[in-house]
Structure 1
């Protein structure tokens, strides 16, 4: 069995539901640890625009979690009370199921992802998580809009979002690509590559995590359809 990672996104349209979701950033911390079979988990807000911005989007929230296998993950996302509460309030929700293929670094002092067997071909997801040093936050966020514009315009990216635990300082970027070649082409060129070089040379992050995943399946819709609909799934 291979570890499965899920990223569940929920969009809230009504003001009362947005207020509920914002309050759950604290309250859900009591429920998620009691969910059967859940491993590592994180509650996150999101950014506006392409997602990679310092301005919060109070309409979209995310839950990232790890599970022992795909069947367990799908069952818990469908039936666990905390996930059902979110879906009841949300105008739309989508969960993507992922198998880790590589992981380097830590998240809150933990290495959360266990690399396992995955298909050699098919769509891949990339996740980058970092704790930005407060002293360099302004310089970091000057770089991000350039990356956001480039990734948003790239015709190869199937899905992208920026999420985070703490605005400005704890950031996660997540994107899905048709294959490893096209993902690598983006990562190695243009503003993204320049930003990575600046980060590495300047020591901007207190903690970093870089992970890649095989995209296994999904549940629900985002913007009215599955973001995986036009990809060649294995």
Structure 2
């Protein structure tokens, strides 16, 4: 592996990890609310969190670009300060986090729905509050599914391209990721470099999906036994 490929891989993994960390806790809480609560507008909320899954990634990237533009809702003219997001590593993390959100929320929601709510009711009858019940009982019982959500979200962040290239660009050593590096190498005719990066992406993707499938099967088996 060349030094350039190693740098791209290191940056991609770091930014994907930050994106996953950024979205995992709020995504998990949203998933729990969707799994356990009925409220007006629930379908709308669920649809909004699933939108990045069905929209073209470039459309998501353009929406983010307009959001962080100078005159956008989170731009310098609106906030009075420059968040310095566009064409930076922060843009990569934000784009990856947004694109990973649907997978995290949907997978975590299925995991929480697999936990029998009677266990939570029993914990409350023993004097545990909602927060204590969630932390001491619900999370441990849903842990395999939540790990699958974490893995899928991280993998989606690693492979993100469309939204990232719109918001962060493709600047070598600054915002270039594994996906954009493959694109650049192919466009420049550097087939050897593109092939190396492709193999890395294939191996990482296969390992992540395999691990997610194994965890999901264990979660389903544990729910059946209960």
TM category (shorter chain) comes to under 0.3
The structure with the greater share of residues assigned to strand is 1
The structure with the greater share of residues assigned to helix is 2
TM-score w.r.t. length of structure 2 = 0.22
